[in-house]
Amino acid sequence: MTLRIDIGGLPSERVRFVASPLAELTAMLHVLAEPGHHPQLAGWAGEVWAGLPPELAEPEPSEPVPLETVTRRLEALSHPVRLRLLRTLARGPHTTGELAHAWELSPPEVSRHLAVLRRAGLLTGRRDGRYVRYRLNPTELAALGTDLLAAVLR
């Protein structure tokens, strides 16, 4: 099976390439090509995976993330307050007090939500004097889609 996309007639300002879907595709192909994961598609996925140019193929992924970890991360993202906190932290590091003030919440409430996000691996914290500055963990957040796909197709 060959997939060809002809973009020759398009003006260059209308053509955009985004790395994320390609990373998702290669991760999906890798999971599908694993023996026993999805028998009906394993042969096709293996052929597509083998046919990728070396610059597009990713190295062998590390140990798959357990389903429990993926579940914990999705549960952490399921609360609207935690999503608002993550949006704020995506703009830069903040303390519990700063987040509480920005969202008109009590510091203990913010602290509880930050603890859930931190246990899920979506945040990191660094002590700055007597305060802890929390920041988004973009690597774990970006890998969530790939990890979810790998966990479901396993």
Q: Which helix (H) or strand (E) holds 132?
A: strand 131-136
User: Would you place residue 124 in the very low, low, confident or very high pLDDT band (cuts 50, 70, 90)?
Assistant: very high
CA-closest candidate to residue 91, choices 139, 141, 134, 120: 134
Q: What's the confidence (pLDDT) of residue 29? A: 59
Residue percentage of the chain with pLDDT more than 70: 58
**Domain definitions of the chain by residue range:** 1-61, 67-142
Q: Is the pLDDT of residue 3 over 50?
A: no
Q: Is the pLDDT of residue 24 over 80?
A: no
Q: Is the pLDDT of residue 47 over 60?
A: yes
- Which residues is 93 bridged to in the sheet? none
Q: What's the confidence (pLDDT) of residue 152? A: 73
Whole-prediction pTM = 0.59
Most confident by average pLDDT, 10-14, 24-28, 121-125: 121-125
Token duo for residue 50 = 């083998």
Give the number of C-alpha atoms closer than 13 A to the C-alpha of residue 119, restricted to the C-beta side: 14
Token duo for residue 105 = 């919440």
CA distance 25 to 45: 10
Class of domain 67-142: mainly alpha
- For 70-101, write each residue's pLDDT tens digit: 889 999 999 999 999 999 998 999 999 999 99
User: Would you place residue 144 in the very low, low, confident or very high pLDDT band (cuts 50, 70, 90)?
Assistant: confident
